[in-house]
Structure 1
Amino acid sequence: MRTFKVGLSRDFLNAEGRNAFGEEGIETLQSHAHLEYGYFDEHRDPVGADQIAPWNGIISLTPKYTAETLKGADDLLVLARFGVGYDNVDVEACTEADVALTITPNGVRKPVAYSIMTHMLALAHQYPVKTRLVKENRWNDRINYPGKRITGQTLGSIGLGNIAREMFHMTAGFEMRRLAYDPYIDPKIAKDIGVELVSLEELFERSDYIAVNCFLSKETYHLVSDALLGLMKPTAYIINTARGGIIDEAALIRALEGGKLAGAALDVFEEEPFVADSPLKHMDNVILTPHSLCWTDELYQGMWADSIASVSSFAKRLPTSNVVNKEVLQKNSFLNKMKRLCYE
């Protein structure tokens, strides 16, 4: 039986050398007789061409894959991103190198939506400040930090994909008005879930809470700018669990310092790790988390299921979903590579 060699990026391992994202995924890999797995020898960012050369499939967490990386893809058929963002992968280079790129939308849908809810509720209830009041023995100061209502307020989303739709589903009991900006969505989908599609400017003008739920691309880089932030209500909040580059951080700092909005919650940043001594770290009305708020056992289980299903299906030459560069599936050179590498 021909085995399909699957490489895992080194950043899955913690300092003790154990997989930090759950042993369940490793056990699932081990249960597939046609799959043989191992880890990259070291963590490099971007990944080197020599690192991908031994593998037929890769399940990858955070490192970048460039055109230079893909020069080592003679025997690589599928790159399975352990997540939904793929701004760290040169998609065009993958297609050119006959490599299918897959993502894990089912695994992240609920956990990321829960993260948005966590941020929204924490902002509304002044959670960071009130935690500090107790730790600093400032009990009587609580009178100075009332929270903000959620019931009847307007929740806006930049994007109306799987995560945004799950977010709106979760807020059904909050009796919130629902807005979204998404130039690519079928209006019927929005109508069916009770979401009003509006322009980006109107979204910022009307929303009390804004959630960023779109991909980072050339089109969306610094989409949230001085101009848009200036349209927000001074009582409104913005939440970003998508990608840091979508919000111009310098513009956000200016808006917060100028009282243009009530606060922000960020799980993602323009530069990660977020180690700079940014003014954001010293603002009472800003919540910062290290691009991991959605990292739960539920997320791990779902992402392992999606990513392993991708590599396993390709290894067996079976149809698979969640392919980003679908055009690669029609290339004769890709089909010939699959025939050469895969289990029959």
Structure 2
Amino acid sequence: MTNAAASDLFQPTTLGSLALPHRLVMAPMTRNRAAADGTPSQIMATYYAQRASAGLIIAEATTPNQVGQTYADIPGIYTDAHVAGWRAVTGAVAAAGGRMFLQLQHGGRVGHPDNSGLHPVAPSPVPLPEPIHTPSGAQDAVVPLEMTTADIEATIADFASAAENAIAAGFAGVEVHSANGYLLHQFLAQNTNQRTDSYGGSVANRIRFTVAVVEAIADAIGAERVGVRISPGVSVNGIDEGDTEDIYPALVSALAGKGLAYLHYVFADSEQPLFQRVRALWPGALIANPNLGWGVPLPEDGGREAAQRLLAGGADAISLGRSFLANPDLVERLRTGAPLNPVRDAHLMYVGGAEGYTDYPTLDLTPTAG
């Protein structure tokens, strides 16, 4: 890698109307540190403020309504208490010089009555093919209720309202989560969408829900404040898209003229033909999340080499997850070539408290505030 190429990560860029000081974005990561009712906690403000040197922080998956809750202690953005809790987080990040978007995620069939208090809903009554974590331990997934047209319309409205709440809470914008096996992705995939109405069957019908959610949010808060996350070919949470090579060109083309802030491509590989096709179809900023594997240690460089390949392959910014999780000062470490903290035991990602959350050391080797 040449010195000139290495510097690309640290050049400024823009996402919609938002100016970033460099191209390193903190990816959204579920951390299960909210209160039981979904209100963000003070320790979440500490955690995000520690990482405010990211060019942009995309805050963790947050539910737009109660039935969309996936797991216990996941934040929401549909009550006044949620807005107030998030306002403390965005205020702490802004005071530290950072910028934040909020990811909006409805779990669809990835949910359980013991987590949300409500029966999960989905495009079709096809259950998650694996157990789901609840406060009392892992339980078999339930068969979700098939959404009616009225349910779909209400959910679209909930997304728009949640986006308005996010702006009121101090976020610069929102990311629509249409990836990783959650509700919008369930509408895209053939195995989870078995509908015969205008939201199922053909590719044009299966992308309809995601497009409608994005349009409603853009109408509510402005298209330049809206990003969309996609994960082409990813099979997490039991997803089998069936016609990946057809879905995403159609979806990206449908969104391309709307003036959105960015498209966020998960597990990206610049050598994949589909990545290059999406890049060619998408006229705006593209955030790429490199495929660094899951359940395996991070590379020693934290993903910097993979990030540089994606920039050379057409990405405008790079999102990193676990590298930011373990290194509050990741930007400085990558800029200077300093060694990185390894990620601690995986279970610490999803339990409450400071351990494995706000206590990772910075470059001066002093633990951050717990």
**Bigger RCO of structures 1 and 2 (CA < 8 A, at least 6 apart):** 1
TM normalised by structure 1 equals: 0.32
TM normalised by structure 2 equals: 0.30
